[in-house]
Amino acid sequence: MRQTWRWFGPADLASIDDIVQAGAEGVVTALHHVPNGVAWTPEEIARRRQEVRRRKDGSPSGIAWEVVESLPVSEDIKKQKGSWREHIANYKTSLRNVAAAGIEVICYNFMPVLDWTRTELRWALPNGGSCMRFDIDDFAAFDIHILARRGAADDYAPGVGEEAGRRFAAMDESQKRTLARSVTMGLPGSRESMTLGDVRAHLAEYGDISPARLRQHFIDFLTEVVPVAEDLGLRLCCHPDDPPFALLGLPRIMSTEADFRTVLNAVDSPANGMTLCSGSLGARPDNDLPGMMERLGPKVHFLHLRNVKRDSDAIAGSFFEAEHLGGDTDMVALIAAIVREEARRKREGRADAQIPMRPDHGQDILDDINRRAQPGYPTIGRLKGLAELRGVMRALEHPGFGIVSVSAALKATGA
Ligand code: DNO
């Protein structure tokens, strides 16, 4: 695996110097300031590359921009409305410009309106740290009582609506505002959040878009951009829905293994792949992460490794962001599946045998507690996550003791 680190640009509290000290081998970043739908220019891309190349004192950092996250797909493209054709043309231009800069992996998502969604950005942990949490009852309280979406109460499992009513009744005005702000936090990096009016207007636009129609829009988009990406030697990788179930009555179509299979098969190309995000997919008990890595492995172009702990086995349930080796996903089994996939690729002579991974999200601990970084992106919490993951990777990849050598040895002895 290639160890990478997400950086939000010069305003990020973690500097390039910090990333070098964390031992990351590459940087994941984007032109967060360019509005969705607008083409990324060679000049802007070159500027960001230079920023990654230098430490604070001007000396070479020794690391480079290796993965784009995200090249966002505009709402117009998702809805096939307004300027969607122009936006697709711009997307292709951005791909050409990114390829010319030597970057090959491009992450994006196809979630309507909201990207990742949580109800608490700093949920207190027993050890004094904090993490992000999604609580289905709080979310329903927002949906039914704060946003007051028509028919919202019918979208929840029995009991959730009642609990949401009790929670809402117990909230003061400032708690309601905090909840609304947490839910409507915009894309990380953009620093924008939406007003309730914005959310209602966006939801209205999706009134006539079923999941099947959104999936078709997605396949139409891929049919346009994947051949361009393939010609350029790029690997596109769609990030799953986070959380992986429908929210606010919006269609969500990239939540399960079957969802990914449909879209990867519809436009079958090495350039059409997935970002396997164990934290997003792991919020659903019916997503088997090591199995997904095993079965979809050849199309996994980027890895987000993190863990969540679910409160229950409900499909649309509450969870919090656990430590990287804690939580409900068996991280060792997942990393073992990744190491096996990399070994397979090596045998096949694939140039992309090493898959970029990044420690995704982290808990706020130690000095991060008061630093107020981008939610989910504290420096020390991620550093701890990377260190733990690296330990597992190093052990499983070890030429003498790792899983590939162990399975070869077992085969040789006929065991
Ligand atoms: C959250 C991230 C997502 C991800 C996008 C990719 O922390 O994992 O925002 O970057 O969904 O397009």
Residue 291 tokens, joined: 């199995």
Across the chain, which distance is largest between two alpha carbons, in Å?
68
**Helix, strand or coil, per DSSP, at residue 29:** strand
For residue 99, the model assigns a pLDDT of 98
> Measured from the CA of 377, which atom of ligand 1 is nearest?
7
Does residue 239 have an active-site annotation?
Answer: yes
> Measured from the CA of 108, which atom of ligand 1 is nearest?
12
Beta pairing, strands 130-134 & 235-239: unpaired
Does residue 277 have an active-site annotation?
Answer: yes
Residue 52: closest CA among 108, 7, 83, 95: 7
Does residue 33 have an active-site annotation?
Answer: no
From the CA of 116, how far away is ligand 1's center (Å)? 7
> Measured from the CA of 187, which atom of ligand 1 is nearest?
9
* Low-confidence residues in the chain, pLDDT < 70: 186-193, 415
Q: What pTM, to 2 d.p., does this model score?
A: 0.96
Residue with tokens 């519809």: 266
For residue 189, the model assigns a pLDDT of 45
By most ligand atoms within 8 Å of CB, the mutation choice from 32, 36, 69, 275 for ligand 1 is 69
Q: Report all structural domains of the chain as residue ranges with CATH numbers, in order of start.
A: 2-113+209-413 (3.20.20.150), 117-185 (no CATH)
The residue whose CA is least distant from atom 1 of ligand 1 is 116
Residues with Cβ < 8 Å from 71, sequence gap 6 or more?
A: 30, 40, 91, 94, 95, 98, 106, 107, 108
Long-range contacts (CB closer than 8 Å, 24 or more residues apart) made by 183-186? 183/114, 183/117, 183/118, 183/119, 183/139, 183/142, 184/114, 185/118, 185/121, 185/375, 186/115
- 70 close to ligand 1 (CB < 6 Angstrom): yes
Residue 245 tokens, joined: 């179930």
Cβ atoms within 10 A of the Cβ of 224, count? 16
- 241 close to ligand 1 (CB < 6 Angstrom): no
Beta pairing, strands 105-109 & 235-239: parallel
For residue 259, the model assigns a pLDDT of 98
